[in-house]
Amino acid sequence: MILPPFYDNTQQGAPISGTPSDAFLPDKTNTTMKRIMLLLLAALLLLPAAAASIKPVTRVLFIGDSMTGWLSERLEAYGAENGFEVTTVTWDGSTPAKWAKTGKLTQYINQYKPDVIFINLGMNQLLDRNPSKSLAAPMATLLKSVGSIPLVWIGPLEWPGKGKGEALVNYLKKTVEAAPNGHFYNASDLQIPRQSKTNPHPTRDGSRIMVDHIVKWLPTTGIPFKSLNAPKGEQMKRGKVFIYKRMNQPL
Q: What is the reported pLDDT for 30?
A: 65
Same domain assignment for residues 113 and 146: yes
Give the whole-number percent of the chain exceeding pLDDT 70: 79
Same domain, yes or no, for 63 and 16? no
5 or 159, which is more confident: 159
CB neighbour list of residue 127: distance below 8 Å, 6 or more residues apart? 159, 162, 163, 165, 168
251 within domain boundaries: no
Q: Tell me the average pLDDT across 40-52.
A: 52
Burial of 221 (0-12, 13-18, 19+ CB in 10 A): middle
The answer to whether the beta carbons of residues 132 and 171 sit under 8 Å apart is yes
CB-CB contact of 188 with 158 (8 Å): yes
Q: Is 210 within the bounds of a domain? A: yes
Taking the model in full, what pTM does it have? 0.80
Look at residue 14 and tell me whether its pLDDT is greater than 50. no
Average pLDDT over residues 25-47: 61
161 pLDDT higher than 60: yes
Structural domain containing residue 20? 6-52
Strand order, beta sheet including 116-120:
182-185, 151-154, 116-120, 59-64, 85-91, 242-245
What single string gives the DSSP state of each residue in 165-181? -HHHHHHHHHHHHHSTT
Per-residue pLDDT, 148: 97
Q: Are residues 175 and 194 in the same domain?
A: yes
The total of structural domains in the chain comes to 2
